Amino acid sequence: MLIDNLDYFRRKPVNIPKVTILLDHGYHPETIAYALQVFYPQILTKICFQLAPKPTKAAIGKTGFVPVATRWIIERFNAWMERCKSLIKNFECTLDHATAKINLCFIRLMLKHLAHG
């Protein structure tokens, strides 16, 4: 996704704050940074990577699932996608078809929010 939007980062002035990209602990920021520098060597002057904090259930006295505020946005996004009944995981034959399904899902979501908003 970052590589698809490199033009945005090329146009972004260096004097404004860096874009922070939160990563789950399954990712390695050094590996991603190295791979991005192949496409755009100055990209690390405009973005930085930060590992999202892991939830500690004992510290907050809860059991079961404990959402982390910084990751909740992604989890909510995935829940919205799951509610779109026309979207079937890993069934679309082409990337264009999958992208069209995702776009339709979010158009439906926006219309729903406009109707209730």
Give tens-digit pLDDT for 53-77.
776 656 567 777 666 666 555 666 7
In a domain, 107, yes or no: yes
d(CA 113, CA 117): 6
Q: Is the dihedral of CA 50, 99, 4, 28 positive or negative?
A: positive
Across the range 97-117, mean pLDDT stands at: 82
Check residue 76 and give its pLDDT.
67
Query: Is residue 36 very low, low, confident or very high in pLDDT (cuts 50, 70, 90)?
Result: confident
**Are residues 29 and 71 both part of a single domain?**
no
| Beta bridge partner(s), residue 93 | none
In a domain, 56, yes or no: no
| pTM assigned to the model | 0.48
**Closest by Cα among 4, 18, 75 to 50:** 18
- Looking up tokens 């980062």 gives 9
Q: Is pLDDT above 70 for 2?
A: no
Across the range 5-13, mean pLDDT stands at: 81
Number of domains in the chain: 2
Domain region containing 16: 3-51
- Looking up tokens 């990577």 gives 49
In a domain, 108, yes or no: yes
